[in-house]
Amino acid sequence: MTFPVEFIRQLAGAKRVTVLTGAGVSAESGVPTFRDAQTGLWAKFKPGELATPQAFRRNPRLVWEWYDWRRKRVAGVQPNPAHLALAEMERLFPHFHLITQNVDGLHQRASSRNVIELHGNLTRTKCFDEGTIISNWPDTGEIPPKCPNCGGLLRPDVVWFNEPMPEAEMERAIEASTHCDIFFSIGTSAAVYPAASLPYEALRSGATTVEINPEPTPFTEDAHFAFAGAAGLVLPALLNRIRT
């Protein structure tokens, strides 16, 4: 794979690099992308119909089981070359921020240290009523399990549609997107807000913007550089190029 000389020159001279990832980065680990996560029992639902507080209130068992299925799926896979390349990139640049929409925790398992999780993490569980993280609960066989403190329902610690974004993470993400030399948008359909506004914030702040995605997205036309390919192929090739 070849990269434009101008892109390599800018990357080699960059001090501050910010990356936004979406479900496409985990695709090569065998984790279905968000919009492909509807298989089997859940094939008849759209993610927006399951990943909402309303869906959980309406059918807590169905939503809990969908996340339990995804949790088990994620536990059984490994980070792929895209995750590993991003963990290496963190060590190459003086100021590197990794912002992810993904809830699978694979960036951390690939040893990325400074990960901003915009949409939470499905390996963490919290009380629907209190919002507190619950690590252990008695196995009463109830689905969803009940909060040991207040008896409320337990739920995954993710941000559902129509739920507010985590303030601290959002602030860090905006700061990292508006104060960087190069901004990468990798493996995201750039369709979910406010995460999808970050590439445009970076562009407006004067960063060089780069997209890596086998398919075009609403951001492709605006990116300074767009590489139509799988993250697990493009990122390792890019690292090989800048290492030499």
Q: What is the 3-state secondary structure (H, E, C) of 5-55?
A: HHHHHHHHCCCEEEEEECCHHHHCCCCCCHHHCCCHHHCCCCHHHHCCHHH
Ramachandran bin of 214, using left for φ above 0, alpha for ψ from -120 to 50, beta for the remaining angles: alpha
* 12 versus 75: smaller Cβ distance to ligand BV8: 75
Query: Among residues 102 and 208, whose Cβ is nearest to ligand BV8?
Result: 102
The reply on whether position 231 binds ligand BV8 by CB under 6 A is yes
Task: Please report how close the Cβ of residue 240 comes to ligand BV8 at its closest, in angstroms.
Answer: 17
Rounded to the nearest 5°, which phi and psi values hold at 208? -80, 125
Assign 223 to helix, strand or coil. Answer: coil
The active-site residue, picked from 107, 119, 179, 224, is 119
Q: Which stretch binds ligand BV8 (CB under 6 A): 71-79, 98-106, 127-135, 171-179?
A: 98-106
167 near ligand BV8, rule: CB under 6 A:
no
Work out whether 121 is an interface residue with ligand BV8 (CB under 6 A). Answer: no
Based on the residue annotation, tell me whether 95 is a catalytic residue of this protein: no
Among 29, 185, 189, 209, binds ligand BV8 (CB under 6 A): 189
Q: How many residues does the chain have?
A: 244
Phi first, then psi: give them for residue 109, nearest 5 degrees. -70, -20
Does position 103 interact with ligand BV8 (CB under 6 A)? The reply is: yes
Among 17, 20, 24, 96, binds ligand BV8 (CB under 6 A): 24
Q: Is 204 in the site for ligand BV8 (CB under 6 A)?
A: no
CA distances for 152 relative to 62, 98, 136, angstroms: 17, 34, 14
Strands (E), the chain: 16-21, 95-100, 115-117, 120-127, 154-158, 182-186, 208-212, 225-227
List residues with catalytic annotation. 119
Which positions touch ligand BV8 (CB under 6 A)?
22-24, 27-28, 33-35, 51, 101-103, 119, 158-165, 187-189, 191-194, 212-215, 217, 230-232
